[in-house]
Amino acid sequence: MFWLRLICSRLYGLLRKNRIEQEMDDEMRFHLLMRTRVNIERGMRPDDAELEALRRFGNVGRIKDLGRDIKGGGFLETLLQDMRYGARMLLKHKGLTAVAVLSLGFGIGVNVAIFSLTEAFLWRGLPAADHDRLFTVIRGDGSGNPLSYPEYLDYRDRNHVFSGIAAIDRAMLAFGAGERSEVVVGEFVTGNYFDVLGVPMAQGRAFSLEEDRTPGASPVTVVSYDFWQRRFGGDPQLVGKNITFNNQSFTVIGITAAGFVGAFVPTRAEVWVPMTMRALGRPGGAPELSDRQAVTRTPTFTSRRSR
């Protein structure tokens, strides 16, 4: 409120600049006249009395500047003068002005693009329901390492704090065969992964807990909406069909809702397979499911706190 009143007073002073200048001249003339009269009454000659009054009064120009700052537009007037001067210089050098404007426009555009990408991939929350209630569980020994899979099972089975605990690990899988084969980014996940994150399915279903019990026994997969559109043209009959990862056949059981790209930001996952199929994508993956000391390339655990 104070700053608003200050700016309004400065604008008002700027609009009545001529009147303020006249008021300051009249006021200073009055003070000088009074000092001169006092000096004459003390016995000084009129000329000497006027000079002494000016000397004791001080720098008239400096006093006027202070008066303008207090009563007049002050910094607003200076700002307008600088803006007018800058505009004249820009119009005078049109070529330089064009280069400067283009450079500024390019720089602003690049910064906006970088900020948008950073916000989208690093700062924005997980594309899941109530992502502000999601937490990552790590070891409490100060190492910052994730839990091993057996430790995850201990947390899951003895959990009384979170409404759900899911395990996640990255996967790089060779999809297809022949000329149409490609490497896709995926995630090994536990059977409750989609339930914990609150991710709906566009078609089909998510993994069941039964598909997350026996290592190597559940060759099923869920694919992303974008992957479904890109590689299968949105085939409405994809659910129930088999596709190939690392030369092994997997049955598609679900397609995630549009926009979901997994939990490893900024990596964009396109397929999900059960954690029990971990040996498919990594040598030694199956033994790690029973090794409590296996902390290298082990899952990250995301939990949803109960309300």
What does the alpha-carbon distance between residue 299 and residue 151 come to, in Å, rounded to a whole number?
A: 11
Q: What is the mean pLDDT of the chain?
A: 76
Q: What confidence score (pLDDT) does residue 227 get? A: 94
Answer whether residue 179 shows pLDDT above 90.
Answer: no
Confidence band, pLDDT 50/70/90 cuts, at residue 178? low
Using an 8 Å Cβ cutoff, are 271 and 261 in contact?
Answer: no
Q: What confidence score (pLDDT) does residue 287 get? A: 63
Angle between helices 17-41 and 46-57 (to 10 degrees): 130
Q: What confidence score (pLDDT) does residue 148 get? A: 78
Instruction: Report angle CA 97, 101, 104 to the nearest 5 degrees.
Output: 140
Instruction: Write phi, then psi, for 175 (nearest 5 degrees).
Output: -95, 135
Mean pLDDT of 235-257: 93
Mean pLDDT of 59-64: 64
Mean pLDDT of 218-223: 93
Q: Is the dihedral of CA 125, 127, 130, 131 positive or negative?
A: negative
What does the alpha-carbon distance between residue 75 and residue 260 come to, in Å, rounded to a whole number?
A: 53
Answer whether residue 38 shows pLDDT above 60.
Answer: yes
Q: What confidence score (pLDDT) does residue 226 get? A: 92
Look up residue 223 and give its two tokens. 């694919």
pTM of the model: 0.58
Tell me which residue of 284, 207, 278 sits closest to 248, measured CA to CA.
278
Count CB atoms within 10 A of the CB of residue 198.
15
**Which residues, in sequence order, are CB contacts of 277 under 8 Å at separation 6+?**
188, 215, 216, 218, 219
